[in-house]
Amino acid sequence: MEKSPGKKLDDGNCPASEGKNEILEYGLRVFRPRHHKIRKLKRTHAASCHGFRLWPSSWLLMDFLDRQGLPKGARVMELGCGWGLAGIFCAKNNGAEVTSVDIDSEVFPYLQIHTQLNHVEVSTMHLGFDDLISGHLKGIDVMIGADICFLDSLADSLKRLICRALGVGVQFVAIADPGRSSFEKLSRQVVREMHGEVQDRSIQRPYPIEGQILKIGALRH
């Protein structure tokens, strides 16, 4: 597991000239794809498994977590983190101890540039869903993910992973999605077999987004 430091690159101020190349929402600073730092990273790091941008479901997940509230200092694992903004949100706004997992190591430089921008630290883990065994999951309180169930095979992997996670004491799982058929397949199984619940959600900021949250378990505050 690698630590992604949060305090080197930027001084945290938002110069006016940077403003239009950043989104400021939910207490986070996020570079837009046209920001020169992102354009520079893209020349050397090509995420190959859809982790090349921040996906809208991440905002849905942040809005959900914002309303739900996390226990201070919760241990959070973000699955299929890509740029990692949902985990960074938990670290920044809830003091969470975050582990961000992705099968594609090329996403981590994008995550790191955002931990630095937001002055937080998260740990990264270069593993796929099927590689996460009980030893990785023990001690995690909350598991989150955004737009990570875009194939039927991922629905199967995620169902098994959620089952392993609940088995070692993970209290709460929340997965946001635009409503893909593979996510619906996962949701049906999890609702039936693990008392999961699906909520329709929509938000207006940073732009209109609709989708669903699959949640399992309950938070102990």
Ligand X SMILES: C[S@@+](CC[C@H](N)C(=O)[O-])C[C@H]1O[C@@H](n2cnc3c(N)ncnc32)[C@H](O)[C@@H]1O
Q: Which stretch binds ligand X (CB under 6 A): 6-14, 22-30, 55-63, 211-219?
A: 55-63
- Is the Cβ of residue 195 or residue 205 nearer to ligand X in the bound state? 205
- Is the Cβ of residue 76 or residue 107 nearer to ligand X in the bound state? 107
- Single out the residue of 6, 74, 87, 104 in contact with ligand X (rule: CB under 6 A): 104
Residue 58 as a binder of ligand X (CB under 6 A): the answer is: yes
Residue 82 as a binder of ligand X (CB under 6 A): the answer is: yes
- Is the Cβ of residue 82 or residue 196 nearer to ligand X in the bound state? 82
Three-state SS for the chain is CEEECCCCCCCCCCCHHHHCCEEEECCEEEECCCCHHHHHHHHHCCCCCCCCCCCHHHHHHHHHHHHHCCCCCCEEEEECCCCCHHHHHHHHHHCCEEEEEECCHHHHHHHHHHHHHHCCCEEEEECCHHHCCHHHHCCCCEEEEECCCCCHHHHHHHHHHHHHHHHCCCCEEEEEECCCHHHHHHHHHHHHHHCCEEEEEEECCCCCEEEEEEEEECCCC
Site size for ligand X, by CB under 6 A?
Answer: 21
Residue 148 as a binder of ligand X (CB under 6 A): the answer is: yes
Residue 109 as a binder of ligand X (CB under 6 A): the answer is: no
Residue 177 as a binder of ligand X (CB under 6 A): the answer is: no
- Single out the residue of 6, 51, 87, 211 in contact with ligand X (rule: CB under 6 A): 51
Residue 55 as a binder of ligand X (CB under 6 A): the answer is: yes
Q: How far is the CB of 57 from ligand X (least distance, A)?
A: 5
